[in-house]
Amino acid sequence: MTQMFPQFAALWTPVALATEVVAGRPYALVIADTRVVLFRDAAGDVAALIDRCPHRGVALSLGRVEGGQIACPFHGWRFDGAGACTHVPWNPDAKRGALSATALPVRVAGGLVWVHTAPGAPDGEPFVPPVLLRDDVRVMAQHMVWDVHWTRVMENMLDTPHLPFVHAGTIGKGLRGRTDAAMTMAWNETPSGAQITATRAGEAPKTTLAYHFPNVMELSIDPGGRVLRMLAVCLPQADGRTRLSIYSIRNFAKWAPLDRLFARMNARIAAEDKAIIESSQPATVPPAGEERSVPTDIPTLAFRKIWFTRIQPQRIAP
């Protein structure tokens, strides 16, 4: 079998809102060149399987979910949430114990579905940003695809100096004409990754960034003491494709129809970034010495070190 999750193995990543995985319906996605299918099992819990029938390799996600089991669309083999084969049409005496699909660890926490990119017992649990555990917030999700390696997208999410240039008409408007002043970037490690601050000419930062290992950025805006956060999840799909998920979290304006207003602004800002980041050459971040850097690049250089030393080298047995 082909290596699963190349360069992104044995890691926890959020992949969807729990409400996006609906009973009776497969939810297909790709994580690091590996197809995965989510579905609700007989108990109503979210299950995750490698999206490949062990019989002839077709996508289980093209099949039906009935009674909390997913049926292969090719020959009707059925699998439960743990991957166990429960039925083989035309073969009542089949040794089903040897015909299992590959299950992945999955958790539902903070309203999100987290998948571990290796079968078997995981080493540790996912870090769930505390804001997701509040009972007074509304969480909405947007998913979009960028044609560039996920590391370039992740770096962009951790980068402040680009705001007045890429986002001159939106979130960077207040910084236009002020770029002659010094900006000091700080990367302070935390148990989940790092806290990032940008200080401009002695001003107190109005927002803060956090990096949560391996692929999450949390932007804290919190206007007037209210809660407004953005989680950007940079999920690798193929070598040159990233699924960017933006989870907006707020404890005000929680009326569902207002989601469209927040989604429209998020999409506009993301589109500004996308046009620039997709032009990056090479599409994957290179070693630090192959590009020119300055002191305001401290956060992105710190992420590159994590990519080359902690994420990319991960391997699991096929």
Q: What is the mean pLDDT of the chain?
A: 94
Query: What is residue 298's predicted lDDT score, i.e. its pLDDT?
Result: 97
Least confident of 103-112, 116-125, 197-206, 207-216: 197-206
Separation in Å, CA 232 to CA 116, 137, 157, 178, 264: 18, 17, 7, 27, 16
Q: How is 104-171 classified by DSSP, letter by letter?
A: E-EEEETTEEEEESSSSS-SS-----GGGG-SS-EEEEEEEEESS-HHHHHHHHT--TTHHHHTTTTT
Beta bridge partner(s), residue 232 = 217, 246
39 band by pLDDT with thresholds 50, 70 and 90: very high
* % of the chain surpassing 70 pLDDT: 97
Residue 128 · residue 217 · CB < 8 Å: no
Query: 46-50 and 103-104: which strand pairing?
Result: antiparallel
* Residue 314 confidence (pLDDT) above 70: no
Q: Hey, is 258 helix, strand or coil?
A: helix
pLDDT tens per residue across span 147-169: 999 999 999 999 999 998 899 88
* 301: DSSP letter: H
* Residue 318 confidence (pLDDT) above 50: no
- Rounded to an integer, what distance in angstroms lies between the CA atom of residue 276 and that of residue 119? 36
Query: What is residue 188's predicted lDDT score, i.e. its pLDDT?
Result: 96
Q: Taking residues 279-306, report their average pLDDT.
A: 96
Alpha helices by DSSP H, the chain: 150-157, 163-166, 259-277, 298-306
48 band by pLDDT with thresholds 50, 70 and 90: very high
